[in-house]
Structure 1
């Protein structure tokens, strides 16, 4: 019997084990990665509500190795000599902290270890509560035979077993299914090149393909073309394309030996589990294991296509060249590293290319996605046949927006769909104004010109009525939605952010987004990332909630939102507002060329706080004095409250709100399927 001493100062077990993994799959992935690094060829995971076991046939650890490797937390992982007649494997882990992932799964775990030439197994048990109560923790290591539940592995000449008890999360059938899918995506190991089998409850898991592969319809790949046998991997893809839009980006991926693909599916549902978890993101893999679950998380945008997109990128050499590439939270690559930021920018440009092509492809098939009752409606078919080529293109574009709603896995009211199709048809009909103008300019006969002029005036009047009515209807709906969000005190800040960014007139009545800009970022950005350079290679990340460009203001406007509950992060004082705004402005000036040299006060800032905000002594949780408000205003910083925004919007549209209560007009398709005109 031997004593094994763990050095666990500074709450290492909590910080490096339990707190790093909020769900089961990433914690299991760390333990599987340890087995891979130990040159195991077979790993078995057994799941139940009582325990979780991970069993491998790798090198195992002798008592000396347990002392010099396992018991030292956070040391650089030592290189292992190939084993099991395998070629050298590049290690998935670096810091030797993956073992502590077991404490994310349960409070107690028992280890069984056997190295080559060792008779019997070594065993010891670690207890989370005991380990977190002291800096040095000693456990007894005993020689033993495997317990009955592991007898089938008795023939292993070497191996390592971790049995976790006092589990922290319930393991249901749905949970098991999710674990299988998540683990499959967290590894990319080609069995033909590396012998490594992973089983969960006796069922082998595919580690070189994911279930959404046969749902990819359009795919763009980059890097080494010979690395992809695309036809066999993606059997239902209708279109393959190698990225070639930007030579510099192509060369970037080639020079750094980074290769991968980004693809699109038919529906968002194709990228979701039964429990609703989505795979609609782009992952980075290194040495066979996931290094970042969502590499473009800092580049989020509001484009519909994002929920249809998935991608996998292999960057072994790139990540190996970085020092400490993973964030301290183990959630992904550290985007404060310039090389990582460059990688993210280039991948984002490829994604934008995929989205642009996706838009074109979707529009070509927009009518096919309509419900059968509409597609087969004679009146609708006759109307479609009367359209010009330009009208058809525009109709398809509008229908594509509708089809994105139909793609969602939620019930859609038939009348609402019919109403939308009817409205789209009305919009297309009014495009004839362009044709009337063209005819008017060509016609020389005065009487014909006069007739065309009357038609044109009538058409314009109808169009203006329709546009005005639609605008009012949209704005009334926006007011109602803001009121609904405010009624729920725990509404996430993100929902307010999305709603106000789409309706900036709620914040300032005269603001209007110019949606004719060629680039989305010319008018609106959500959660835009700006890095503030503090000097001496020290950077501070800044995420702007909303950044708006409007014709009425010379410079972009920053809108910062806090939750509509005056607690936690949302409970701010004057200094919080001042410091946050100062960082935002300076980071923007550093990054945006057009802003170089301007006074930071010229960038207008709107700070939106909870309605539980008032003067000192008023009983509000957030207190801003008159002097503080005036000082902020002198720095071009305005304070708004959610209830003030709602009150002003209701005041502006009071008459329309009253009218809406009395009149409800729902346009509908008038003819049934099979009915002729």
Structure 2
């Protein structure tokens, strides 16, 4: 009989060994866990993808009997009280291994595995060839690993060595740096506890894995830590903000967690490291090794915050030896309907909500200094605001600056800056602190839709309130020539009915109604009555605002019509409009007729009233009124003086928005330097 025996079904070999593990990092994690359970203080991995991989530890080693019972027996449960129990004999470590199948993982990356183990000064070794193993299994025969008697001197020291050869190249496509980074994330053993006190070190090609290999740490802006455990400040970026969260999930059950999660400055900081793989997840560990590779997607958490998160949570209660085993065979997932898993997910979901609120408040503030340096005009704009407005403006600017965009889409941030500043300026005109407060508290989720509202903001502030009004009013300021006054009013009046009445802020015109009224005017009115030709007579507009229907007729500046003619003319307009509206189902409409004249109308009828009283009476008959050119200009200048004052600010705002578009984008300088170097 042979010295070594191995019993395993072909289905077990394939499903739990060759096909279960897809990459070398996961396989080597199993071997590192075995070394940890064997009370090793050091495990060395010699990594040569083209030839072989050697994993050597200085643990307790195995006798021939133990090699057969523990290593060669698939499904050996070391935690069983009849076997080794729950903790290691020397350092009292809680065993990482549980199912007894991790050893099969080596066959997913190597066709030949040789095991050397030294205990109490005696070294024993065997070799397994997967092809020979499969052949024996197919024949229903017991497989006997080859007894190896030629032991290299380097392998005869205390501990165990696994030599993997005939490597499967497709699953070995990892660089040394990539392996270091991936293993660093899979074990919570990076502290510097001395070997004499039970410390545990992992080295690859002679270099120990350390905190530097934890790539996600160097990009963190904020970190939330559970319970009393804290990461060393020396391994975190300068200026990082740290927050505490409770670590007790269920005190009666003894369920608690330690560890941390944090947010990077940009989501790409967690996805661009090809060697370390995607860092945008939270690994859950139990007994210092992974039990679930990522848990964020299980939290039903849809806020933008989730795209910036990475972390490591240790929850030993998920791998309690006295409770059911809820880890899948590859230790990448958990059985989700278990109460422990559900409790952890609920707990983390609440922690995420709390952290997301803090993040939304604090993150914009960290972005402000960088924005001010990149956009000097924005700094000037903020500095020029009233003191009570500055904090709100900085928060808004910081929120926009903190958003992350796809490569090549940085111009979207420029659009948001424009929209945000325009919205802020519009609110600022009203000096409403509550509105400013609401505007500055928008989150990333709230502000992204502004991309689709830029035109609305432009119309609301720049065109509708400042630019168009200031330009229209400024053209009236220096007009003396009568013909000029008429020309300017003809050009602007019908597009700016607020010049006639400040309450007509949102007057809306109708081309169809105007054409109907013009046809009636041309066909029904006596052209000689007012002493004008047809073209002048029908210069009218129709608009509605606030439930009122308005007819406006613009007369030539030098014409002085008779008030009776205006009364008849306005009455016909009103009757005609009433008929059109009745056909549309509008009963008893509120109709107003406005005549714009260069001079007051004449009174030629023999009446006992004063001319002014007769004119007022005549207009009241048709619900009409008269506005004169000069009066409009004077009123406009008086009523909109605040907008004239704002015109200087408007010009400054225009310069600011232009400077944002012209400002260099992140990376532009690097490109220029590259071109210069070329």
- Counterpart mapping for 1:429-578 below 5 A: 429-432=425-428, 435=431, 463=457
Secondary structure, counterpart of 2:44 in structure 1: strand
Secondary structure, counterpart of 1:43 in structure 2: strand
Q: Using structure 2 for the length normalisation, give the TM-score.
A: 0.57
Secondary structure, counterpart of 1:121 in structure 2: strand
Relative to structure 1, is the Cα distance of residues 4 and 431 closer, same or farther in structure 2, using a 3 angstrom cutoff?
same
* Cα deviation digits, residues 255-313 of structure 1 (max 9, x gap): 42422222223333544563172222222222221222213331254433223322222
Tell me the equivalent position of 1:427. 423
Relative to structure 1, is the Cα distance of residues 671 and 158 closer, same or farther in structure 2, using a 3 angstrom cutoff?
closer
- Offset at 1:98? 0.7
1:241 and 2:252 matched: no
- Rounded to whole Å, the distance in 2 between the matches of 1:327 and 1:138 is 28
Tell me the equivalent position of 1:669. 657
Which deviates further from its counterpart, 210-219 or 305-314?
Answer: 210-219
- Rounded to whole Å, the distance in 2 between the matches of 1:425 and 1:164 is 64
- Offset at 1:83? 12
1:16 and 2:13 matched: no
- Rounded to whole Å, the distance in 2 between the matches of 1:325 and 1:385 is 61
Secondary structure, counterpart of 1:96 in structure 2: coil
Tell me the equivalent position of 1:138. 143
* Cα deviation digits, residues 298-334 of structure 1 (max 9, x gap): 1254433223322222222452153112024531222
- Offset at 1:7? 2.5
Relative to structure 1, is the Cα distance of residues 359 and 342 closer, same or farther in structure 2, using a 3 angstrom cutoff?
same
1:64 and 2:52 matched: no
Q: List runs of 5+ in structure 2 lacking aligned partners.
A: 436-453, 464-654, 664-678
- Counterpart mapping for 1:356-367 below 5 A: 356-367=357-368
1:350 and 2:355 matched: no
Tell me the equivalent position of 1:618. none
- Offset at 1:353? 1.4
Tell me the equivalent position of 2:572. none
- The answer to whether the 8 Å contact 1:366/1:396 transfers is no
* Cα deviation digits, residues 400-458 of structure 1 (max 9, x gap): 2453226x7x3555x5443332122223233357658999xxxxxxxxxxxxxxxxxxx
Secondary structure, counterpart of 1:152 in structure 2: helix
- The answer to whether the 8 Å contact 2:41/2:58 transfers is yes
Relative to structure 1, is the Cα distance of residues 26 and 166 closer, same or farther in structure 2, using a 3 angstrom cutoff?
closer
- Offset at 1:93? 0.5
Tell me the equivalent position of 2:467. none
- Offset at 1:50? 2.2
- Rounded to whole Å, the distance in 2 between the matches of 1:153 and 1:208 is 30
- The answer to whether the 8 Å contact 1:9/1:136 transfers is no
- Rounded to whole Å, the distance in 2 between the matches of 1:393 and 1:40 is 57
Tell me the equivalent position of 2:381. 382
Relative to structure 1, is the Cα distance of residues 383 and 191 closer, same or farther in structure 2, using a 3 angstrom cutoff?
closer
Relative to structure 1, is the Cα distance of residues 194 and 257 closer, same or farther in structure 2, using a 3 angstrom cutoff?
farther
* Cα deviation digits, residues 23-56 of structure 1 (max 9, x gap): 2211110111111112222211111222222122
Secondary structure, counterpart of 2:6 in structure 1: strand
Runs of 4+ in 1 over 6 A off after TM superposition: 81-85, 436-439, 672-675
- Count of residues in Structure 1 that have an aligned counterpart in Structure 2: 442
Tell me the equivalent position of 2:518. none
Tell me the equivalent position of 1:187. 187
Which deviates further from its counterpart, 128-137 or 53-62?
Answer: 128-137
- The answer to whether the 8 Å contact 2:292/2:334 transfers is yes
- Rounded to whole Å, the distance in 1 between the matches of 2:434 and 2:296 is 46
- Rounded to whole Å, the distance in 2 between the matches of 1:315 and 1:323 is 15
Larger Rg: 2
Tell me the equivalent position of 2:476. none
Tell me the equivalent position of 2:258. 259
Relative to structure 1, is the Cα distance of residues 462 and 357 closer, same or farther in structure 2, using a 3 angstrom cutoff?
closer
Relative to structure 1, is the Cα distance of residues 673 and 7 closer, same or farther in structure 2, using a 3 angstrom cutoff?
closer
1:32 and 2:36 matched: no
- Rounded to whole Å, the distance in 2 between the matches of 1:209 and 1:254 is 35
Relative to structure 1, is the Cα distance of residues 387 and 50 closer, same or farther in structure 2, using a 3 angstrom cutoff?
farther
Tell me the equivalent position of 1:299. 299
Tell me the equivalent position of 2:496. none
- Offset at 1:2? 1.9
Aligned residues: CA RMSD:
4.0
Relative to structure 1, is the Cα distance of residues 273 and 187 closer, same or farther in structure 2, using a 3 angstrom cutoff?
farther
- The answer to whether the 8 Å contact 2:46/2:205 transfers is yes
Secondary structure, counterpart of 2:323 in structure 1: coil
Q: Using structure 1 for the length normalisation, give the TM-score.
A: 0.57
- Rounded to whole Å, the distance in 2 between the matches of 1:60 and 1:96 is 17
Q: 2:124 aligns with which of 103, 121, 125?
A: 121
- Rounded to whole Å, the distance in 2 between the matches of 1:299 and 1:351 is 9
